[in-house]
Amino acid sequence: YASSILLDPEYGLPAAKVRAPQAGLLLSYEKTGYDATEPGRFPDLIDDQSALRIKNEGGDAVKFLLYIDPDEPDAINDRKYAFVERVGAEAKANDLPLFLELVSYDGTLNETGTAAWAKVKPDKVIKITKEFSKPQYNVSVLKVEVPVDQKFVEGFTDEGVTPVYTKEEAAKYYKAQSDATDLPFIFLSAGVSNELFLEELKFAKQAGSTFNGVLCGRATWKPGVKPFAAEGEAAGKAWLETEGKANIDRLNKVLAETATPWTDKVEHA
């Protein structure tokens, strides 16, 4: 149902061995989370992993996640830029594409999902999309957030919630993000529902975004955690084979109507 699967090599290698024959394999290079002992949300790599080992384990690409606030001091962000440069050089040396996942935050705010966060998110997402499109990072594909918090867009808010953006303003942010990169870029779901994620993709298309697909997890499988936890493995598997499959089918249908072929952005030798 999916063209490829992203797995964490710390736990996912057994699953990688039984994936569908036609499915590609992306393996994560970073440890889950970030260093919480100092400001900056600095990344760390899995101790016994490398791009060479990812390649030898059958990986088709390296995936690396970076938390970043482009407005934090250079003392923080310059370390992150150098970190990505090293990861990109390592992936390139092993002839593997680098999928760079960028998750924005605001170092002055305690949480996302608020109106205060929604107001500053577009500028941050567009800035990091532009920065990591520079050639020194050797990024092949950007995995990015949509540039707004869709739950604060006019027409998408819950009852009683004041919109932060009009539809026209939100559309301009989607287009500005798309214009900020010449690389293939794909959207992450950030844990929103399958229904809302599909609406985000349709909105992106209408706004003129030339995104090239998605790499998402929770928008497809998150509701399956409840039956698995409450009723056991058989119930979880049954959910995946029915509702989980239906979520991916719906996603594939919408992508066929909204996403731009990545080949439009990549020069072939």
* 50-85 residue pLDDT tens: 999 999 999 999 999 999 999 999 999 999 999 999
> Where in the chain does DSSP place strands (E)?
4-7, 24-28, 61-68, 98-104, 141-144, 185-187
35 falls in which pLDDT band (50, 70, 90)? confident
* 134-174 residue pLDDT tens: 999 999 999 999 999 999 999 999 999 999 999 999 999 99
Q: Tell me the average pLDDT of the chain.
A: 96
Q: Say which residue, 38 or 184, is predicted with more confidence.
A: 184
Across 197-214, average pLDDT: 98
Residue 40 pLDDT exceeds 70: yes
Sheet of 4-7, strands arranged across = 4-7, 24-28, 61-68, 98-104, 141-144, 185-187
Structural domains for the chain: 4-220+253-264 (3.20.20.70)
- Alpha-carbon distance of 163 to 173, in angstroms, equals 15
- Alpha-carbon distance of 112 to 41, in angstroms, equals 15
Residue 269 pLDDT exceeds 50: no
Write down the pTM of the prediction: 0.96
The share of the chain scoring above pLDDT 90, in percent, equals: 92
Across 234-263, average pLDDT: 97
Across 173-189, average pLDDT: 98
Closest Cα partner for 256 from 217, 198, 216, 208? 198
Instruction: Tell me how far CA of residue 259 lies from CA of 136, 178, 209, 249, in angstroms.
Output: 27, 12, 9, 15
Residue 110 pLDDT exceeds 90: no
Residue 251 pLDDT exceeds 50: yes
Across 118-129, average pLDDT: 99
What is the model's pLDDT at position 254? 98
**107 token code pair:** 């170092």
Of 68-72, 108-112, 116-120, which range is least confident? Answer: 108-112
Number of neighbouring beta carbons within 10 Å of residue 107: 13
What is the model's pLDDT at position 268? 59
Across 182-186, average pLDDT: 98
